[in-house]
A and B are shown apart, each in its own frame.
Chain A
Amino acid sequence: MVNIIITMVSRFLRGIGSRMIARVWRLGAGTRLFMLAIIYSGESFRRFHLTLREVYFTGVMSLLIIIVSAFFVGMVLALQGYNTLQKYGSSEAIGVLVALALVRELGPVVTALLFAGRAGTAITAEIGLMKTTEQLSAMEMMAVNPIARVVAPRFWAGVISMPILAALFSMVGVLGGYLVAVPLIGVDDGAFWSQMQANVDVRADIINGVIKSVVFGVACTMIALFEGFDAPPTAEGVSHATTRTVVISSLTVLCLDFVLTSFMLVV
């Protein structure tokens, strides 16, 4: 009886331990891939059309989902904000509320979450399938470095696209908020913009939002690339890797957001 319990407990502990070790191993491998992508990124700038093509697929193709969701997020923020603010008789502050919420938090974070779902999964599936069909091995046989040819352009494309998408998200969201607040609810037009301009600081709010989105761009793209690179070369493996990309990217973005915000608010 005691023996059975001891075996069960030890098996349980061993399971936790092996999982932890696997995670740490994957973290190390991911960091190595990140370093390699940076070391070999010279190629992706010399042959810039490779990077440009990836910017098209990750950035331009994400425009629609970003703009439409930004519009609705801005509108809903204005509606909800008005509902609360009018109780305190300060419905003119709605512009500040919408702009600060979007520029500081929702712009970078929601963009990163949508980016992970829209572009990150595509990157993982593409690279996973390249590995499954042995295209990456074929490249190596032809003395083409797959990290320089496949990983680095996608990495830089993600890093370039994310701040642009986040800035667009914030701007379109503010316009959506404006549309609900001013013509629909009837908040004063001048007060909406002037209060916003008085309370949104370029360095403390807008530049910090851009910094956040660059960091999220690095994290999301790198996770997608690593999951694709690390996927077992089977159909099931690629499907699991794609799921993991979304889950890990979302969690990483939300955790990083907290860390970055706490740094930015202190400084």
Chain B
Amino acid sequence: MDRTKIDLWVGIFVALGAAALLGLAMKVGNLTSSKIGDTYSVSASFENIGGLKPNAPVKSAGVVVGRVAEINFDAKTYEAVVTIKIDKRYQFPKDTFANIYTAGLLGEQYIGLEAGGEEDVLKTGDKISQTQDAIVLEKMISQFLYNKASESGKDKASAPAAGESAKAKSTELGDAPF
């Protein structure tokens, strides 16, 4: 095989490799979707951020409007201070709510912004004062179990009066477990 033909094949090989890398970056990876233009950063403090991580999405009405830039711990107030970067195109009022939600039952956590009604908008360095912590599943389960245990303790205490308790139970059934 003469040299020019080898050159051609090597050229095809390298071009294929470049195309594959580009395809991986564009089609498989998130090179295109993670592009956020100019941003402004706002902070918010939470008592508990659960499993929130840097670079987690910030969504409003389900649309990604920014990313979590950094998470710090404030040793004075014992709160987590989360700095988020929001796309410059989107302006939010000063009394915007910041909640930590979970995507799906066990999915990743993200910050949801709910716009308030004030006319002044958030600017770089501002602080979102109205926040809601992450729901920690273990806490909920332990609370539920605790309630259940106290309930069954009540049942045992009233067990001797069997006839009455059966009647009472049927009315109790409609109540929520906690």
Contact = CB atoms under 8 A, between A and B. Distances in A.
Contact of A206 (B16, B17, B25): B25
A199 B97 CA distance: 27
A167 B24 contact: yes
B146 interface: no
Nearest to B9: A60
Nearest to A96: B28
B21 A197 contact: no
Contact of B30 (A52, A56, A60, A197): A197
A182 to B, nearest CB: 14
Contacts of A53: 3, 6
Contact of B10 (A56, A196, A202): A56
A210 B29 CA distance: 13
B33 interface: yes
Nearest to B31: A202
A59 B10 contact: yes
A181 interface: no
Chain B interface secondary structure, helix, strand, loop or mixed?
helix
B145 interface: no
B20 A202 contact: no
A201 B20 contact: no
Contacts of B32: 197
Interface in A33-69: 49, 52-53, 55-56, 59-60, 63
B30 A163 contact: no
B27 interface: yes
Contacts of B31: 202
A99 B14 CA distance: 22
Given A53-B6, A164-B13, A168-B16, A193 B27 contact: yes
Contacts of A55: 10, 13
A56 B16 contact: no
Contacts of A6: none
Interface in A127-167: 160-161, 163-165, 167
B109 to A, nearest CB: 14
Of the listed residues B14, B32, B34, the one surrounded by the most CB atoms of chain A closer than 10 A to its CB is B14
B29 A197 contact: yes
Interface residues of A, number: 31
B23 interface: yes
Contact of A49 (B3, B12, B13, B28): B3
A172 B29 CA distance: 15
A200 B21 contact: no
Contacts of B14: 160, 164
A160 B11 CA distance: 12
A95 to B, nearest CB: 9
B13 A206 contact: no
Nearest to A209: B24
A174 interface: yes
Contacts of A197: 27-30, 32-33
Contacts of B10: 52, 55-56, 59-60
B7 interface: yes
Contacts of A99: 28
Interface of B: 3, 6-7, 9-10, 12-14, 16-21, 23-25, 27-34
**What 3 pairs across the A-B complex have the smallest Cβ distances?**
A164-B17, A171-B20, A167-B20
13 contacts: A164-B13, A171-B20, A174-B24, A197-B28, A198-B33, A200-B28, A200-B30, A202-B31, A202-B34, A205-B29, A206-B21, A206-B28, A206-B29
